[in-house]
Structure 1
Amino acid sequence: MKILSDALLESYRNQPGIDIQTALQQLDETFVRSDSFNFYTSIAVITSSKIEGEPMEVDSYIKHKIQQIEYLPELTQKPNDLFQAYIYAKENRLTKEHFSQAHQILTEHLLPEHWRGIYRQNAMVVMEHNTGRIQFEAAPAHLVQGEMDKLWDDIDKLLRCDLSVEETFYYASFIHLIFVCIHPFNDGNGRAGRLLEKWFLSDKLGTMAWYIQSERHYYQHVDAYYRNLNRLGIFYEQLDFTKAEPFLKMLPRALDN
């Protein structure tokens, strides 16, 4: 592996609490119906968007998508773009090219066209949207292309491998973490990173992965989400990924939802 690490995998496997395999089976039996995708994707989209400071309330957005209730465009445009990106991801395999297209979709009302799906060329400081506090400094611009190439090489390798359920969750979280630390785009990185995590899960586990309420879990525990990112350090080139375990353990806990 070029940028991901298995150094924490053994400890991750031995974590007490959630039996991922059993929880997935219960999810498949309880929630997955032909009409469920729009509902659970609505929850995923609006909670992921609210982590980034979008003002629309969760219940209102669900009414908008499920009951076709009309709201002001400035409230719905960016969440709806993200919703379309989730549909695109569900209908396409995870590749570098498809992910770039998904970023173009989710940033239609966020970035000018020439920056959609294109890596940034400037420095990037990552801030918590609710407080405005600086969280960390993302990868320097001259490293972004190379770091993302490493990440996609690792993702492609993992997609070709047979992974256990625990390994799949571990690497999905690690992909999410590395992507957010690189922060490769001018905007939309948080939303894209959470979609990338879910997309990887779906390619490895199938359709049921789209019903895992990971985005909702991160939103409900947003302080821990940012705190666990902060544990790694402030500057990208000095990040300590041996401290990543608290972040990696958040995804399985989303199965409790």
Structure 2
Amino acid sequence: MLNELKIIPVELLENYCLQVDNDLQLKFENLQDAEISTSEFSFYTSVSSVYSSKIEGEDIELDSYIKHKRFGIEFLPDYTKKIDDLYFAYDFAKANLLNADNLANAYEFLSKHIVAKNYQGKLRSSNMYVSTPDGRIEYFAISPFKLQKEMEKLYYDLTILLSAKLNINEVFFFASMIHLVFVKIHPFNDGNGRTGRLLEKWFLAQKLGENAWFIESEKMYYENHQKYYENLRILGLEYEELDYKKAMPFLLMLPNSL
């Protein structure tokens, strides 16, 4: 079945499985929700939303956000609104199957205060590049004229993988690879990183169950964000020339978050 995949590379899978800890299954099974969580509030969804936003430069602290979300302490709306949007997108993902329509909906929710309304939930129609804080271009994404076909390939592969019987090492491999391929396609005008990290965890949860939502991957990516971006950069400058054989350092970050 894996030989039917159209866009997600599998060449590194065997070597990846050899490098992942043998106790990955045990570590995953031992994950549990925090005591502070309630039926109306999730501590780990707060962690995911805060740290995924901090990777993108949002000035928000976890302690303050928990006070806002769990205990109703008010802050200025600009301080919490983007994180609230992302929290809502995570909640949406928990309650819905992963597919093309629902991913578009999740992006619409999380981008509410990131892009203009007419761009929310929509693929970009212009060229896209990623630049460093000092203005240096470090990546050119796929042309908008080829974007739809690449996303169709990704959604096709998602359908294959969601129905495939995979062991836990394979699930983690493909979750990271889906994250990586998605952000390299860079399908939206903004919010691609947030969406890619949500997509990764969404896939894990669909394959392995609710413990996936307790993984602090976004926090780990933030605490190692220089390495996170370095591992993204090493694949190449342009979409058409990406070398996924160099993806192992990125792929190993997710299991290391356990």
Contact 1:135 1:226 in 2 (8 A): no
Residue 108 of structure 1 corresponds to 112
Match of 1:254 among 246, 252, 257: 257
Residue 90 of structure 1 corresponds to 94
Shift in Å, 1:58: 2.4
2:77 matched to 1:77? Answer: no
Shift in Å, 1:35: 3.0
Shift in Å, 1:133: 4.7
> TM-score, normalization: structure 2?
0.93
Q: What CA RMSD, in Å, does the superposition of the two structures yield over aligned residues?
A: 1.8
Q: Which amino acid aligns with 1:107?
A: S
Shift in Å, 1:65: 1.3
Match of 2:127 among 123, 129, 135: 123
1:15-74: CA deviation from partner (whole Å, max 9, x where unpaired) = 05462101112214x758973861110011010001111112222112211222111111
Aligned with 2:42: secondary structure?
helix
Task: State the percentage of identical aligned residues.
Answer: 49
Contact 2:25 2:168 in 1 (8 A): yes
Shift in alpha-carbon separation, 1:124–1:90, aligned structure 2, 3 A: same
Report the Cα distance in structure 2 between the residues aligned to 1:41 and 1:174, rounded to whole angstroms. 22
Residue 63 of structure 1 corresponds to 67
Shift in Å, 1:183: 0.4
Residue 21 of structure 1 corresponds to 25
2:147 matched to 1:174? Answer: no
Report the Cα distance in structure 2 between the residues aligned to 1:44 and 1:202, rounded to whole angstroms. 14
Contact 2:20 2:252 in 1 (8 A): no
Q: Which amino acid aligns with 2:176?
A: S
Residue 45 of structure 2 corresponds to 41
Q: Which amino acid aligns with 1:113?
A: K
Shift in alpha-carbon separation, 1:33–1:11, aligned structure 2, 3 A: farther
Paired residue total: 253
Name stretches of at least 5 consecutive residues in structure 1 with no aligned partner.
none
Match of 2:165 among 162, 167, 170: 162
Q: Which amino acid aligns with 1:79?
A: I
Contact 1:172 1:200 in 2 (8 A): yes
Shift in alpha-carbon separation, 1:132–1:43, aligned structure 2, 3 A: farther
2:204 matched to 1:209? Answer: no
- Pick which of 217-226 and 32-41 moved more: 32-41
Shift in Å, 1:165: 0.4
Matches within 5 A, 1:210-225: 210-225=213-228
Shift in alpha-carbon separation, 1:3–1:20, aligned structure 2, 3 A: same
Shift in Å, 1:232: 0.2
Ranges of 4+ aligned residues in structure 1 off by more than 6 Å = none
Match of 2:10 among 6, 12, 31: 6
